[in-house]
Amino acid sequence: MFNTTAWNRIRYDLYAPVYDAVAERALRQARRASLSQIEWRPGMRVLLVGAGTGLDLPWLPDDIALYATDLSPAMVRRLQKRADALGKHAQIEQMDAERLTYADGDFDAVIMHLVLAVMPDPACGLDQAYRVLKSGGQLCVLDKFQPDARPAGLARRAANAVTSAIATDITRQARPLLEGAGFVIEKDTPVLLGSLVRALVARKPSTRRVEHRTDS
């Protein structure tokens, strides 16, 4: 599979100069709808994972402690520039979503917009989000997903060999990923292209369910 962390860093460095022209208008309303589902309160600590050029920033409250990361150095530079232009006070770092360096239970909310469908190991990324969230913290996800009721067919899996290398994985399913990481899904809203693009809010419960497997 041609979807690796190193390749994603390279390709998003290349995409950075044209990313806004492609993604800003097309996904503006979907971003707003997704972020409107979060239960905001003043002073909450919020982590924006895979923040890209910062297209979510205009729709975030000003009275939060904001942290933002991205894998691509070129994206991080544009993210910082947009934050400065908007007067957003954010701690911005280049960081791999699958290897977050924050402490356990550090955030009230984690936002992952258009991240799960591009990272090499989304389960790992969700484990990291779960780890850095406080008990009861919210996970906000916006992405393109295969319907949960059925896995991708042969044709879709074949097309995915190309799309996952240049743009996005088109075979991933939201509920199996989020619930497999221990999250409880509270909101699941189609926001674009029928039900292809969905906005979900999930909660980290106070205790994580542990499944015990016995080998026969």
The set of residues, in sequence order, having a beta carbon less than 8 Å from that of 142 and lying 6+ positions away, is 30, 31, 34, 112, 113, 114, 191, 197, 198, 199, 200
pTM as predicted: 0.92
Map residue 76 onto helix, strand or coil: helix
pLDDT at position 208, please?
56
**CATH number, domain with residue 149:** 3.40.50.150
User: Looking at the domain assignment, is residue 51 inside a domain?
Assistant: yes
User: Looking at the domain assignment, is residue 210 inside a domain?
Assistant: no
pLDDT at position 152, please?
82
User: Looking at the domain assignment, is residue 173 inside a domain?
Assistant: yes
Q: Is the dihedral of CA 84, 126, 118, 113 positive or negative?
A: negative
Q: CB of 105 within 8 A of CB of 133? A: yes
Q: How many domains does the chain have?
A: 1
Q: CB of 141 within 8 A of CB of 174? A: yes
Structure token digits, residue 167 = 């743009």
Kindly report, residue by residue over 103-146, the tens digit of the pLDDT. 999 999 999 999 999 999 999 999 999 999 999 999 999 999 99
DSSP state of 146: B
User: Looking at the domain assignment, is residue 45 inside a domain?
Assistant: yes
Residue with tokens 């950075």: 16
Q: Which domain holds residue 121?
A: 5-203
pLDDT at position 209, please?
53
| Residues of the chain predicted below pLDDT 50 | 1, 210-216
User: Looking at the domain assignment, is residue 186 inside a domain?
Assistant: yes
User: Looking at the domain assignment, is residue 213 inside a domain?
Assistant: no
User: Looking at the domain assignment, is residue 132 inside a domain?
Assistant: yes
pLDDT at position 167, please?
79
What average pLDDT is seen over the chain? Answer: 92
User: Looking at the domain assignment, is residue 42 inside a domain?
Assistant: yes
